[in-house]
Structure formats: C-alpha cells, structure tokens
Chain A
Amino acid sequence: MAEFVMPTLGSDMTEGTLVEWKKKLGDRVVKGDIIAEVDTEKAAIEIESFHTGVIEQLLAKPGERIPVGTVMAIIREVGTQATPAIQAPASPPPLQKVSPKEPVSPPPPPPPPMTAAVTEPGRLRISPAARKLASELGVDPAFVQGTGPGGAITLDDIQRSANARGERHEAGGQQPSAPLTTGPTPLASAGEGGDRQARMRQTIAAAMARSKREIPHYYLSTTIDMGRAMTWLKEENIKRPVTDRLLYGVLLIKAVALALRQVPELNALWKENAAIQSPAIHVGVAVSLRQGGLIAPAIHDTDKRSLGDLMSSFQDVVKRARAGTLRSSELSDPTITVTSLGEQGVETVFGVIYPPQVALVGFGKVVERPWVIEGQVVSRPVVTASLSADHRVTDGHRGGVFLSAIDRLLQEPGQL
C-alpha cells in the first residue's frame, strides 16, 4: 500500500489546494499518471503518481487546503492485498499527517539535544504560540523568517512581520499578505488573478530573500563567440520544416546541460548543510509570465535530449507555464536554472540562485561585436554567459572551468 501525499513543489510551499481528482476510486494508475490537480501559490499543477496500483481511498476533497506531506490518497500497489478501509475521519481537517514509525523498543535515551532540527521537509518550523498569533494577526508564517532555535518561527518573528506589514501598509506600499484562513477554502477566491499575482510576488520574495540571506553568491562571466553556432543553426534550420526549427536558446540550454557533466558540483541541491549532487540533469528554464512573475520548470534529463526534442519540450513547458498546467515534477525537480534576458537587450545577467539549487546560468543578447581572430579584427556575434554560484559548494575555479566548458561546447554546435 502506498500513500499519495501532497508534494512540495518549491522550497517555500507549505500547502496546496486540491482542485480536482483526475482519477476515481478503484481506477488503475501507472507511475507517472496524472492523479490530481493542485493549486499552489504559483500555479495550478498536475500531480503525478509515484506508484503503480489501484486507487483504494481518496482522503482529500476538492477545495481543501492541504499541508505538504499530508496523505491525500491511498494506492494499493499491484500484487498486494486490499487493506481494511481507513476510517475516513470527520472534517475538518479530515487528513492524517505522515509520521515516522515509532521504534518498537526505544534505546535508553541520552539527553536529547534541545533543539534538534528534525522538522520534516516542507513542514513549517514554528512554535505553537507563534502559529496561533499568526492566525490571529492574519500573517502567513510561510513568509516569515524564523530566528528561534534551529530557525524556528517565534512569537517575536510573527509580531515583527505584522508590524512591518503595518508600516508598509501605512506607507501605501505593497499589499499585505492574504489573511491566513484555516480549513477548506473555496477555490474561487484562491484562483482570482489579482490575488494569485500578489501571492506569486510573495512567493518569489520569500525565495529570493532567503537566497540572498543564506547563499554566499559569487559571479563570473565570459563572452562567448557564437559565430559557429549561429552559422550552424542557420544551415540546420534550412533543413528542418518550419515547425521544427530551432532557436539559439536551445543550443545554450544543451551546452549548459553537457557542461554540467564536466562540473557536476554545480548540478546539486543544498540540503541540511550539505550539497547533494544530482545524478540527473534537469535544467529549469526561467519563463516570465505575461501577468508578471516568473516560474522555472524543469526540462527533465536535459543532457540526454536531442536538440529537436529539447526545442519541443521547451515550447511545451513555456506554453503550459503560461496556461498554468505544469506538472508537479517539473516544478520540484530542477537542479539548476538557466535564464535568458536577451530579448530585452540585456547583455549580462547577474542572477539570484533559486534555493535549494546551487547555481544559475544567465545569458544576455547575442550581439555583433568586434572580435580579434588571429590578429584580425572581425565582426562576430557574441553572447555573455554569466554564472551565479553558491560559494559554500564551489569555488571560482570550478565556476570558471564550467563557463569555459560551455564556451567549448558552443564552438562545436554539431556535437550538441
């Protein structure tokens, strides 16, 4: 029997609203099937099943706000016995929290460290009193930085946040965060455009503030001769049907993915004071949304895809990001972010890393510049590639190796 839980779709997500079940009781699901649609602060996301089996129980109801980690459904895996039904608990909130199993006979306890940081991922570390005060003051604790033991949010933190909001409000600044409501919330109110936008802004604010607070960034940039790449692209596109033509951005994404194979330290997530390298390379591509804000969904296994495949995947995620139909894994899986601001004429990007990632690569506009080749000044298309990297994980030397690897890869576009 497997539990289908509310996944975390971003480092700052604490809960989601179930929009609808895509499967019914008794339906067979295969790993990867879309099983539910969930509304988060950023977008409506389709959630995939991690298990293959039969839906035995649906514990959450559409419209409910559900904390990350909460069991939403039970999937009986193929080949296992049906289990007695879990008593559907009375609402609200009709959900069980996932908890680690108790050891049968605990060893004699050494005095526990007083503030062991053993909070489950995705669960907010907040004192009971602070949670209560937050609810009274209408402060959303997900956006409050904790200063208590192990980073726990305390009464003072909530009070400070409420005061700061009051000041902003008086100064006629930003809208305050939406009042924290408890229990099931009708989706209609959560889905309204203005509200969604304000919440997206707050989500970005929280992630970026955390990044700049916690991550010691270093920045490197290099200018890359794009002459060969642009020439190759032009010739390649002539061979392709119009619908399959490639954009140069796809070359950049692929080059980043392949360069990560050479410098895998940058393809990592920072978890509990250590960087964990990811065996797979999932490049997140920053997509700006028309109504404001941005989202960076993953193109899975970027390094293994052909350029054509990458192009169609890229177009697909951009389209779905803007339509609000991204999949959960696309939001939670990126191992690095690539952002390109060339369309706006930007030459160099100084990016802010999206935690828990440890690096971000930025590309500017491809521009014609005087370039010296074998003593001759010639006009060449060039692009500035920049790296923002977490100095806890890598040093400038490795960052430089990475940028020059991108450069080398772009000199042989046919191999990409």
Chain B
Amino acid sequence: MGKITYREAVRAGLREALQSNPRVFLMGEDVGKYGGTYACSKGFLDEFGPERIRDTPLSESTFVGAGIGAALGGMRPIVEVMTVNFSLLALDQIVNNAATIRHMSGGQFSIPLVVRMATGAGRQVAAQHSHSLEGWYAHIPGITVLAPATVTDARGMLLAALQEPDPVFIFEHAYLYPLEGELDESALPVDLTQAAVRRAGTNISLITFGGSLWKALEAADQLFHEGISAEVVDLRILRPLDISTVLASVRKTHRAVVIDEGWRTGSFAAEVSAQIMEVAFYDLDGPVARICSVEVPIPYPKHLEDAALPQPEKIVQAVHSLMGR
C-alpha cells in the first residue's frame, strides 16, 4: 500500500465503514458540505448522500445525544466532534447516558456509538482548541478510549470500534493529520486489547500514546546514538488499559518515563505511573518519571506553545537524569 497520511488513513477507514455497512452514518459539524474540519470526509457528501453524511447544528450536546439515540435504535453512528475542547458541551450525554445505559438497563440496551474527535496542541490554535483531555475520558467506566498514533491504527481502530457493542471514543491527535506513515496491512484488523511496542530496547521504557509517540521515538533515536537503548511503548488504548505490556517492558528495562500531553496533575501519566509502582515496585531501578504539559492553558505564540508541551529534548533529559548521567 505504501505511504499515506494520517488524514487519508482516517478517510479510508470511514469510507470502508460506510461502504461495508449500510447502518453506518457520519454526523457532525461541517462533515458534509465543508468535507470535515480536518478534511477527513472530503467528497463523502457526493459519494454517500445527505442521509448518511449529516451536517449538524453547532450543538455538541444535541448531536452526540442524537448519536446515542440512533445507536439505541439500531444504527451504527459515527459522530465527529471538532475538538475535545468542544466535547465538554456533550459531557452530560456521554457520562450520564452513553456510559451508563447498559448498566442501568440491566444489560437490556447498549449504545454501539463511535465518537471521533481531534485532540492535542502544536498547531498554534490557542487554548480553546489545543487541550488534551483524553485522560479525563479514560476515567469513565462504560466506554472505550482509543488513541491511534499510526496510520494503521487510524484506519484500523475505527473499523474495530464499529464491532464494539458499547461506546468507543477515538482521539485523533490533530498534529498527526498531515504526517505520512507506512500502512501495515498485516496489522489489520487491529485488535483493541493490546498496547504496542513500537521500538524494542533494554535500558529504559518510554511509555506514551497519541501525538507524543513520535516525540518519544525521536528521543529514542537520540538516545540510541548515546548508547542508551530505549523501548517505546504505545499504549494505544487508554481504557481498558493494557498494563501487562507496560509491566513486561518495565520488568525488562527497570526504568520508565511516561509521556503524556495532558497536564501533569491528575494526568493519565499519573495513572500509568501509579500502576507501575503498585505492581512492579521491586523491578524499578529508579523513580518513574513523567513528561507532561506545563500546567497552563496551551499558549498561542509558537515559542511558548513549544515550551509548554512534551518535547524530545525533555524526554532525553529525563532519561539522562534517571540513568544518572
């Protein structure tokens, strides 16, 4: 298949879903006439028609609620929310309805809903479009939270999500859309149970997900030239978390840095770090380190935005510090 962009991978996944299952439809702000804020559904309105590619009013609560209703009614809706910042308007629908109905109906009803949204910073779109709140969603039982970082996962996870009987939230890091990657057909269909070791190593584990994966891989490259062999673990699935892959890595390397674009306090990195400490304490040869975003609204100016986010240099520094260098 060769190289495609992350955006093309998402689009390929969506098209495949729409083609293969007549009950699948796409709904969200600007997904139709405009072709999607990130152009993931460009041309779909002509190809699939207004019944299946539906532009919605600017009301997240309304259209996520409509998605829940459609899922209850037997459809397979894919709802696109423009960014995770805007999804907060739909939290009531998500937390109180989507995540609870199976439980509250004693298993009689389920919500086979897929919600996609962009997350993350790095594009100078300021604080109201740049936050990384997927860690919050990972707190909620009753939903699955995915963070595809590769083109293969961007395409494959959507298809796997559509097989799930319960709500699945897919967080696409907006920085990744224009990036190219090699589509690995052999990895399709992707499984939604396991984290992935993206680079094998022996001295330290860099544990991350989403947009930060590429920063971790870049840091691992630098470290390699210094003679430090870093293993990079892509969590991929934030809920349910595959901690066993993480633990296997830490038991091998005895050191861990968790990289998470969310803010440090109460971050997903904090959860991963706590689980490592709970289970693998006696395998650790140093404290678990975290590289998270600085605790400020993500700034607009480029130099400040860069300074606020995890960067390969910060990861390398943390590794040096852990290795006593």
Q: Which of B286, B289, B292 contacts A127 (CB 8 A)?
A: B286
A109 to B287, CA, bound (A): 17
- Contact present for A149 and B285 (CB under 8 Å): no
Q: Please encode chain B, from 278 to 297, with 1 for each CB lying within 8 Å of some chain A CB and 0 for all others.
A: 00011111110100101100
B264: Cβ under 8 A from any A Cβ: yes
A127 to B294, CA, bound (A): 28
B106: Cβ under 8 A from any A Cβ: no
B283 contacts which chain A residues (CB < 8 A)? 128-129
- Contact present for A148 and B286 (CB under 8 Å): yes
- Contact present for A132 and B282 (CB under 8 Å): yes
A318: Cβ under 8 A from any B Cβ: no
B318: Cβ under 8 A from any A Cβ: yes
A111 to B290, CA, bound (A): 9
Known contacts: A109-B265, A111-B264. The answer to whether A129 contacts B321 by CB under 8 A is: no
B239: Cβ under 8 A from any A Cβ: no
A307 to chain B, nearest CB (A): 51
A169 to B254, CA, bound (A): 29
A154 to chain B, nearest CB (A): 5
Q: Is the interface of B mostly helix, strand, loop or mixed?
A: loop
Q: Please encode chain A, from 108 to 150, with 1 for each CB lying within 8 Å of some chain B CB and 0 for all others.
A: 1101001100000000000111111000000000000001110
A127 contacts which chain B residues (CB < 8 A)? 254, 284-286
Known contacts: A114-B287, A152-B286, A154-B286. The answer to whether A128 contacts B281 by CB under 8 A is: yes
Question: Which range holds the interface residue count of chain B?
Answer: 10 to 19
Q: Residue on A with the closest CB to B289?
A: A114
Q: Residue on A with the closest CB to B322?
A: A149
B285 contacts which chain A residues (CB < 8 A)? 127-130, 148, 154-155
B57 contacts which chain A residues (CB < 8 A)? none
- Contact present for B254 and A129 (CB under 8 Å): yes
Q: Please encode chain A, from 80 to 124, with 1 for each CB lying within 8 Å of some chain B CB and 0 for all others.
A: 000000000000000000000000000011010011000000000
Q: Residue on B with the closest CB to A113?
A: B321
Q: Residue on B with the closest CB to A115?
A: B321
A19 to B60, CA, bound (A): 72
- Contact present for A147 and B324 (CB under 8 Å): yes
A128 to chain B, nearest CB (A): 5
Known contacts: A115-B287, A127-B284. The answer to whether A152 contacts B324 by CB under 8 A is: yes
A111 to B323, CA, bound (A): 19
A177 to B322, CA, bound (A): 29
- Contact present for A149 and B282 (CB under 8 Å): no
- Contact present for A128 and B324 (CB under 8 Å): no
A128 contacts which chain B residues (CB < 8 A)? 281-285
A137 to chain B, nearest CB (A): 14
B318 contacts which chain A residues (CB < 8 A)? 114
A residues with CB within 8 A of B:
108-109, 111, 114-115, 127-132, 147-149, 152, 154-155
A108-B295, A115-B322, A129-B283 given; 13 more Cβ-contact pairs under 8 Å: A111-B264, A114-B289, A114-B322, A127-B254, A128-B283, A128-B284, A147-B324, A148-B323, A149-B324, A152-B286, A154-B286, A155-B254, A155-B285
B residues with CB within 8 A of A:
254, 264-265, 281-287, 289, 292, 294-295, 318, 321-324
Would you list the 10 A-B pairs with minimal beta carbon distance, nearest first? A148-B324, A127-B285, A129-B285, A114-B321, A155-B285, A132-B282, A128-B282, A149-B324, A154-B285, A128-B281
23 contacts between A and B (CB under 8 A): A108-B295, A109-B265, A111-B292, A114-B287, A114-B289, A114-B318, A114-B322, A115-B286, A115-B287, A115-B321, A115-B322, A128-B281, A128-B285, A129-B282, A129-B284, A129-B285, A148-B285, A148-B323, A149-B322, A149-B324, A154-B285, A154-B324, A155-B254
